[in-house]
Structure 1
Amino acid sequence: MRPVDLAVVGGGVIGCSAAYHAARRGARVVLLEAERLGAGASGAAAGMLNAQAEARGEDAFLRLLLKGRERHRSFAEELRDAGGPDPEYVWEGTLRVATEERFAAELRRTYSWQREAGLPARWLSGEEARELEPNLSRGALAALYLPEDGQVNSPRLVHALAQAGARLGVRFLEAARVTGFAVAGERVTGVRTARGEEVAAGCVVLAGGAASALLAGELGLRLPVSPVKGEIISVAALPAPVTANVWDDRCYLVPKRDGRVVIGATQEPGVYDRRPTLGGVATLSGAAVGLVPALSGATFLNAWGGLRPGTPDGRPVLGPAGGWEGLLIATGHHRNGVLLAPITGEIVASLALGDRPPVDVAPFSYERALQTAAR
C-alpha cells in the first residue's frame, strides 16, 4: 500500500469522523478497523446529544460538549450533501426526571449553575413535567428540561461519515486488526496489522475505543482508558410514549424516528464481555416501565451491549502522547463519543495536518489523564 498522510486506527464514530475531516482538508487517509465499521461502542450507542445533561460544571469539558452539539446542528446538511444515509437527527431536548428528593436537589443545583452560565434550561414541577410528557409516572416529583439537546441514529451516523469519507478518497479497511506500530527513533511512522501488512503514514491516530490502551502499550504508553460495559434494549412503541430524551437516575428513554424506543444503559466498569444479560434486560425493563408506565405494553425487540472507553474523570484523551511524534490519541469519550465525534474529528484533522485546532486540547491531554489516574 502506498504511504498515506493519515492512518486512523478504529472504525467507530470518532475514527470515521477523524478520517472524514482530514480528507476534507485534502489528506490521503486510510482507516483500519479490526471488525466492521461501527461494531463497537458507536454501533451500540443510543445516540443522545446531551451536551448540558452530561455537564457537571462550567469548565473546559462543558465548552467541548457544547461545541460538539453545535457542530451536530450543521452536520446533517453537510452529510446529506455528501450523499450518505440520513442520520435521523431529532432535536426535542432532554428531560431529566427526579422521582426522589435527593435527585431532585441534585438536578436543582444543575439548573442553578446552568442558568447562571446563560444556558437554556427550565425547572419543572412534577405536574409541569407531565404536561410536557403526559406519559410520565405520577411518581415524578420534578424535572429539568434542556431544550437544546437532541439525539441521532448512531449506526447511521457512522455509515454516513464513512460514505462521505469514501467519496473524498478515504480507504476503509475492515477486518484489519492493528497489532503494532512502525517506528523510527521517537517517531511513529505507520501501523502493522495481524496479517503482517505495514501501512506507512505521516501521522497515526489511535481511535480504538476501549481497545486503545492495549495498543498504546505497544509504544510503552500507559493510557488510562478501560471498558465500561453498557447494556441497552429496544422496544417498538407507536405512537411513541415520549417525545424528548427522558432520563432519570436509573435509565434513559430515547424515542427514535423509526418507531423504536431505545432504553439504556447499565454501567459495568472493567467488564470486557459485551453480550447482554438477563439481569441487564430485567433491570432496564423495570426502570423504564417505572418511569413511563405506558411502556409496559410495548413490544420487546432486542438487547445488546457495548464497551464504552472510560477514563478516570470521564473526559476524553486528545492529542499527542508520551513524546512520540507522528502519533495522536483520540479516545476515552465514555458515553459522549457520538456527541463529540464532529468536534473531535476537526481537532484531530487540525493537529495531524499542522493546523491550530478549533479548541484548546490542553485540558484533555495525555499528561492530564495520567495525573488524574494517579490520584
Structure 2
Amino acid sequence: MTRSNRARWGLVSTSGVLTGFGHGFAAFAVSALLKPMALDLDTGRGAISTAIGLGRFVAGMASPSIGRITDAYGTRLIVIAGMVVSAIGLFLLAAVRSEIELYIVWSLVFSVGIAAGFTVALDKLVVATAADKGGMALAVRFSISAVVATLIVPLVTTMIEHLGWRQTCVIWGGIILLLIPIPYLFFGIKPGTDVSPSAVKDGGEAAAPARSVLRQPAFWIIAGGLTAQASVTTGLSVHLVPLMTDFGLDPVFAATLFGGMVLLTVPVRLLAGYIADHVLPATLPIVLGALLVLEGLAIGSFALAPSFGTMLVVIGALGVAAGAPMVLVLILCAELFGRSGFATVQGNLMMVQVPGTMLAPIVAGYVHDFTGSYVPVVAGFCVLLVMGGAGLGLLKARG
C-alpha cells in the first residue's frame, strides 16, 4: 500500500484514466459502433448485440479466475496482460468479415482482455490502496473513468464518421498498447491483509474464504439487485445512440448527449462514495434499493409517453444507474465479506451477472428488430429495475 496521500490518490486517478480508455470504449463507445458494424456486415442490430452479449458472458465467466489471480499475485501482470489482449482483439475486430468471426473475436479475445485489464484488478488495487476511504476512492476512480469516457464517445463517433469503424478499432488498439508503461511502472502493489472495519470488529469472520460467500443469502440478494442494475445499464448503453438517432437526432449530437450521460455519473459517484464512507452498512441496502426503484420509474416514463423530454429523463436515469449503485455495492461487499478476498468476491458477482448482462442487449436488439421500436424494451427495463430494488429490502446487513 502506498504511504503518501499524494501517491495513493495518484494511483486511484491513474486507474480511472486507464478504465476510461479501455472499459469506456467497450461499454460506451460501442454504442456508436453498432449501426455501422451492422451495415458493413450486412446484418441486424440483434446480431451485433449478440456478439456484445456473448462478450459479457465470457468476461463474466472469466472474472472469478481473474479475481483469484489478482488476490494471489497482485495487479500489475494481470492488467498488462489484459491490455495486450484487448489491443489484439481490436486489431482482429477490424478484420472481421462475418457474424461468426465477430462473435469469436469480440467474446473470446476483446472482452476477456477488457475484463482482465480494466475491471476487477483495478478495483482491487484501489480498495487495497485506500483502506478506510474505499468508498470515496472508488468514486474518484469511476468518476475519472466517466470523464474520460465522456470525451472519447464523441471522439470515437467522429473517427467512425471520417475514418470508418475498422480503422477506428485499429487506432484504439494502438492507443491501449501505448498506455502499457503506466501499469508496468506504477502498479507494483503487493497483495495485503484484510483491513476492513468489519473484519476487525468481528475478529476476522468477514474475511471468510470466497467459496463460502456463494453459500450466504446476503451475497445472492446483493447479486440479484446488481444484476438488475447491470442488465439495464448494459442494455440501454448499447442501444442508447441508436434509440436517439431513430428519434431523429444527428449521430454526433446523440453521441454528445451520451457523453453527457456518462459525465452525469461523476457527481453521482462522488455522492455515493461519501454516503458509503459515512453511513452504517445496515443503511446501504435501503439506499441502494430505493435508488434502483426510482431509476426504474424514471426510465419507465419514456415507455408511457415517448418524447424528447422523456428521452432526456432516460439519459439522466441511466447516468445515475451507471454511477451510484456499483460504488455502494462494492463497499457493502467489502464490509460484509472482507477486503483480502475482495477481487474474488467481485469476480463472483460479475459471473452471476452474466445471464442478465449477456441477454439484455441481445433481447433489446431483437425486440427492436421485431417491433421497430425501443418502447417495449424500455418498459421491460423499468420493471426489471423496480424488482431488483425491491428485492434488496430482504437484505439484513450488520449495523
TM-score (norm 1): 0.24
Higher strand share: 1
The structure with the greater share of residues assigned to helix is 2
Q: Which has the higher contact order (CA 8 A, sep 6+)?
A: 2
Radius of gyration: which is bigger?
Answer: 1
